[in-house]
Structure 1
Amino acid sequence: MKLRCAVLDDFQGVATTLADWTPVADAVEVTTFTEHFGTEDALAAAIEGFDIVVTLRERVPFPASLLARLPRLKLLVASGMRNSVIDYGAAAEHGVTVCGTGSASTPPVELTWALLLGLARGIVPEANAMRDGGPWQSTVGADLYGRRLGLLGLGKIGGRVAAVGLAFGMEVVAWSQNLTEERAQEVGVVRAASKEELLASSDFVSVHLALGDRTRGLLGAAELALMKPTAYLVNTSRAAIIDQDALADALQEGRIAGAGVDVFDTEPLPPAHPMRSLPGLLATPHLGYVSRDNYRTYYGQAVEDIQAFLAGAPVRRLG
């Protein structure tokens, strides 16, 4: 009898077409779910009969309470090599092997600039006006050349965002808890700055930090109040790095010029959620990782993980 594999949150229905599943076809029966399960009860009911689960990034938590309700589960594959919403101890207790996959830094870099440029040049309102027969030119774009780009985080993604900013002729400064002047110079950033100076002096601020105890709630009301009223904020990292209520207040009151956001506390975002209608907000449904090549990597390596597990030699183990 074949093992049953559930692929979660395959919103576009591409999990089985962008990767070759034939290497495990004789041993595994794959079922894809295109709708998100919003509660633990709904998810447990849907996947309790599966031996393998493939999940995307950190969208679906796997706490001890859920793992206890999945007696057949033996392998959990999560895209990426870091996941903060899986209880690894509980997985081990229940005999569940957890594996990850590779991922590319290019898609989030590209989306960061799509959001930043969309904000700076009013792309969405102007395009909507063109489509709807509205006014011809209603916004005045913000310039990039000669303006300051402040990066919170200068790792693999932040460094590539910096390179694009420099190509636009921007002055780039950066901050993180462990950033050194040597790393800043290596990337070509003008210099490392304090967090407060970066927020107060930048025309565009972009977040590229991993979520952890030191970065959760890093930007609250006090930090957002340091930003210029003409400045824009972009977050393609993790929602919890920015206090969502403080961000909503800043946008409602016009204390910053706008924000581009790809990550949210709750995903998918409920239809009536306030974040869908805030003024000055350019929001996308967590598209940072969504690209053909990235999906080929995710699902292709998920197949490799399953193959290795079936062979008794799991690879890319997490936990």
Structure 2
Amino acid sequence: MKCAVLDDYQRVAMSMTDWSTLSERIDIQVYNEHFECEEELAAAIGDCEIVVIMRERTPFRASLFERLPRLKLLVTTGMRNASVDLAAAAERGVTVCGTRGGGEGTTELTWLLILGLARKLTQENGALRENGPWQSTVGVDLCGKRLGLLGLGHIGSNVARIGQAFGMEVSAWSPNLTAERAAAAGVALASSKDELLAASDFVSIHLVLGDRTRGLIGARELGLMRPTAYLINTSRAPIVDRDALIDALRRGAIAGAGLDVFEREPLPEDDPLRRLPNVLATPHIGYVTEAAYRGFFRGVVEDIEAYLNGSPVNVLG
């Protein structure tokens, strides 16, 4: 059987786990470059019965499933992937499996963005590299500031704990967050989303993308934030209205944004988010750590083995 591994940007897929148990059963082709065109992708992997995808780098919509009549197994890293049309997969008889593991990379990257924004890291590092002004900005202290969390799940709770270690006041809100859960994390429960946005110096998003969270932060919500406040999004881009955010950043309605997720990835070369001076952005690397990758690809091998043995595991949908 033929197997394609897509979007191995760092060229590490084959070294992150032991694939030898599959060597006599499948023929693996690894693709390092992203396919922008669905037709080109289908032409490249059309003869594959198994495809492995990394997170949401390549969406699998109904139109792509229709172009891949030989596909039998789709394995995605992680146990949730909003870019895979599970109904279309089921209709075409394709089994979709996920993988466990992930590490704490997103928590750590969230704090990289918060600290980088607070200490004007982009400006200061750029000035140092280009022989610009020595000490041209004044940093923002974290101690005593309010950190507002939209979402208090696993990642949100870890972000809260670190904020508390910095001496920040931490509050949280989400559609289903209870006072008991907030208290268990030592976090104040905001009375509403609007109250959290208006009162926070740093707002960090840690929500699952869904019907209730898509577009949750728009022009009205950004208008509630302080002009000295920062927005951090390491969750999913569509939670924030992109045009409203760019407008708020251009006008200085908020002080800045730390972004690791984008509606289109890779981000186009002419995208304003690449060049706005009050944006600190990274190319969706929250989950891109050695621990996460080793866990993901170990799970990929286990999923393929289980499928070939007639007992699929971690089936989604």
Partner AA of 1:301 in structure 2:
G
Deviation at 1:103, TM superposition (A): 2.7
Q: Scaled by the length of structure 2, what TM-score is found?
A: 0.98
Q: Is the 8 A contact 1:153 1:174 kept in 2?
A: yes
Aligned residue number for residue 85 of structure 2: 87
> Is structure 2 residue 249 aligned with structure 1 residue 251?
yes
Asked whether the 8 Å contact 1:105–1:157 carries over to 2, the reply is no
Amino acid at match of 2:227: P
Cross-structure match for 2:68: 70
Matches within 5 A, 1:23-38: 23-38=21-36
Query: Over residues 243-277 of structure 1, what are the superposed CA-to-partner deviations in whole Å (9 max), with x where a residue is unaligned?
Result: 00000000001111110000000011111122211
2:179 corresponds in structure 1 to 181
Give structure 2 stretches of 5+ with no counterpart.
none
Cα offset for 1:104? 2.4
Of 238, 241, 257, the match for 1:240: 238
Q: Aligned residue for 1:115?
A: 113
SS of 1:225 mapped into structure 2: helix
Identify the range of structure 1 (62-71 vs 297-306) with the bigger mean alpha-carbon deviation.
Answer: 62-71
Is the aligned partner of 1:201 residue 2:199? yes
How many residue pairs get aligned? The number is 317
Q: Deviations over 1:59-92 (max 9, x none)?
A: 2221121111112111100011112222222212
CA RMSD, 1 decimal: 1.0
**1:105 shift after superposition:** 4.8
Give the share of equivalent positions with the same residue, in percent. 61
The letter of the residue matching 2:102 is A
One-letter amino acid matched to 2:96: V
* Corresponding residue for residue 276 of structure 1: 274
- Give the aligned partner of residue 136 of structure 2: 138
Moved more, 9-18 or 27-36: 27-36
Partner of 2:304: 306
Amino acid at match of 2:41: L
- Give the drift of 1:286: 0.1
Q: Distance in 1 between matches of 2:65 and 2:81?
A: 15
Pairing partner for 1:97 from 86, 95, 98:
95
Of 192-201 and 283-292, more deviation after overlay is shown by 192-201
Find the partner of 2:40 among 42, 50, 56: 42
Runs of 4+ in 1 over 4 A off after TM superposition: none
Structure 2 distance, partners of 1:90, 1:244, is 28
1: CA distance, partners of 2:281 / 2:116: 10
Contact 1:79–1:101, Cα closer than 8 Å, also in 2: yes
Q: CA deviation at 1:27?
A: 0.6
Greater CA drift, 262-271 or 78-87? 78-87
1:158 corresponds in structure 2 to 156
How far apart, CA to CA, are the structure 2 residues paired with 1:152 and 1:18?
A: 33
Aligned 8 A contact 1:78 1:98 in 2: yes
CA distance in 2, matches of 1:88, 1:178: 25
State the Cα deviation string for residues 115-169 of structure 1 (Å, max 9, x = none).
0100000112211211211111011101100000000000111000000000000
Structure-1-length-normalised TM-score: 0.97
CA distance in 2, matches of 1:231, 1:105: 29
Q: Residues 184 and 192 of structure 1 are in contact (CA less than 8 Å); yes or no, is this contact kept in structure 2?
A: no
Deviation at 1:9, TM superposition (A): 0.7
Name the aligned partner's letter for residue 18 of structure 1: M
Letter of the 1:204 counterpart: F
